[in-house]
Structure 1
């Protein structure tokens, strides 16, 4: 058997470079008060040995670990998977490793994941908080936190989000202008910040237009979407439009209408919050409110590194504009 190769240590670098351990440590931490000759010798030794500083050991001395945490409700949701990728790219640009955890939008699970990240001595955290998030989980954290997609309940933590209300309002107004009179809003978790703001945008428009407020706010999966939508597909309760506040609900609604033989948009129009893959290739393509997902995620990551570098974030809330993408599912011209 071949002997196991040991990972080079700081003392190995010192011996190779012919300097003391303190000199190597100063080089690793910026090279201050080190002569050009010794700096070059240490850098060469580091390269030859393939040495990497022990971030865990450095963190015990108060240095950064070069890791940050990200907690999201789901990685199956295209919004959060795209956000995670964008945040990882920003972290990579700062020479930092991203540790990803999933909360399933449950406060107990969220606290477990945050505690685990704290134990790993992360430098900072980016969080899409659950609606039951408890601020006490940060009591002994000692690092900056930035939220995205939704604010932390009851706390003044920096946050980056889209204009949920304006997006829902624009989509519903588009349906009203297209002549729709009975517009059903399909929503998920009624306690979630994003759900509340989007449902409010819809509600304000239909009430201002003198139309009935029709909402099913507990759609969690395809089965519950069937149960929520089916009563509105025939008889006196029949609708002529659907406004869905989440892409997964939109896909279910599209399938349910198709299976019921209701032609879109001739019989029932569809407008949705959040663009999704293949939305523009369906027949008809789906009219959506598009969020700047990458922009939201990157801004949240930049704010976290700003807090790490400067000790604070200048802006407490960043609200990004959304865009209504007109497509044929509402009965208008697509673009």
Structure 2
């Protein structure tokens, strides 16, 4: 059957995921027979095994279920998709979610899709066919996840992390992107800088744009003029960042400080500064390993991935427990970590 096929109608006409009762009814056998076939038990005639297997395929009922699933209809399993499983931020979010899942004696299935929208959709379809009880999703950029609405309508909740999904509604947990970046700008302005640039990443438009909004909010709060020439969007490469720095420092009224919009961009900027022998005051949005070992140590706006992971898991388990109501949105605050790179006075 097609992956977008509607869930099986229940006796009262509502749509829902296929159950053992649906399989038994379609195959014309008893529940105990379905249980033995699905769990790999014996004592079932070949004709009945074939009938059950045919019903399983037609109803898209998963055969790889735990004993608890057979007893209660729930899988005791949560699915999670992230765009980059090796990214320290997402790794910390995963650890925090897993902590909450283990505390409830359940299992977390984690998959990574990079930023490939098609791969993200493929992985999510497989997770939903695994009959997970709920999903926590970091949305791949440009992915249309509207197909998940049917799963939500069938009783499987979805919580989004880091950015919302344009194709489907769902609870959302994210960092205070605007507030954190505004604080970075205010910090540099308090050190005496009046020409503060922003080097922004181009991958992950949602967070980049929110942080650029925060940059302009910080300028306004500090009484500084907005100058579009001080904002450069780059790929996260050293060469691109070196070109951006040359552009920003080559102006008649050059930048004396810079904010970056994620840790990958920060690392590329630091290498570009080293290669070009430039020294600019710097504040990174997002902390990163080895920031304290740089010369000078890098001042950063730190996100709280543990709080984000805990909040996402709590929202999901509330929905699994039956909580209804409007979509909820939780914004987790950031904090400024002063280390030295943002305190250099303007030249």
TM-score range with shorter-chain normalisation? 0.7 to 0.9
Q: Show the 5 A alignment for 1:257-276.
A: 257-263=273-279, 268-276=280-288
The aligned residue for residue 199 of structure 2 is 186
Give yes or no for contact 1:125–1:146 (8 Å, CA) kept in 2.
yes
- TM-score (normalised: structure 1): 0.75
Counterparts in 2 of 1:256 and 1:160: CA distance versus 1, 3 Å: same
The aligned residue for residue 16 of structure 2 is none
Shift of 1:332: 6.0
Gaps of 5+ in 1: 1-21, 26-53
Counterpart of 1:159 (choices 160, 164, 172) is: 172
CA distance in 1, matches of 2:313, 2:326: 14
Shift of 1:139: 4.2
The aligned residue for residue 116 of structure 2 is 106
The aligned residue for residue 212 of structure 1 is 227
Q: Where in structure 1 do 4 or more consecutive aligned residues deviate above 4 Å?
A: none
- TM-score (normalised: structure 2): 0.73
Please say which of residues 321-330 and 60-69 is displaced more in the overlay. 60-69
Give yes or no for contact 1:303–1:313 (8 Å, CA) kept in 2.
no
Please say which of residues 56-65 and 73-82 is displaced more in the overlay. 56-65
Q: Give per-residue Cα distances to partners, 1:296-318, cap 9 Å, x unaligned.
A: 11110111111112243777011
The aligned residue for residue 115 of structure 1 is 125
Counterparts in 2 of 1:180 and 1:140: CA distance versus 1, 3 Å: same
Instruction: Tell me the SS of whatever aligns to 2:219.
Output: helix
Instruction: Tell me the SS of whatever aligns to 1:100.
Output: strand
Give yes or no for contact 1:306–1:313 (8 Å, CA) kept in 2.
no
Shift of 1:192: 2.2
The aligned residue for residue 322 of structure 1 is 334
Counterpart of 1:252 (choices 258, 264, 268) is: 268
Shift of 1:162: 1.5
Give yes or no for contact 2:161–2:172 (8 Å, CA) kept in 1.
yes
Give yes or no for contact 1:231–1:237 (8 Å, CA) kept in 2.
no
Does residue 135 in structure 1 map to residue 150 in structure 2? no
Does residue 198 in structure 1 map to residue 211 in structure 2? yes
Give yes or no for contact 2:238–2:271 (8 Å, CA) kept in 1.
no
CA distance in 1, matches of 2:342, 2:290: 17
Counterparts in 2 of 1:192 and 1:313: CA distance versus 1, 3 Å: farther
Counterpart of 1:310 (choices 312, 322, 325) is: 322
Give yes or no for contact 1:68–1:122 (8 Å, CA) kept in 2.
yes
Q: Give per-residue Cα distances to partners, 1:103-135, cap 9 Å, x unaligned.
A: 212321211110111121111100111332323
CA distance in 2, matches of 1:120, 1:79: 27
CA distance in 1, matches of 2:204, 2:86: 21
Give yes or no for contact 1:55–1:64 (8 Å, CA) kept in 2.
no
Gaps of 5+ in 2: 1-31, 36-63
Shift of 1:212: 2.4
Counterparts in 2 of 1:248 and 1:190: CA distance versus 1, 3 Å: closer
CA distance in 1, matches of 2:146, 2:167: 12
Shift of 1:249: 0.8
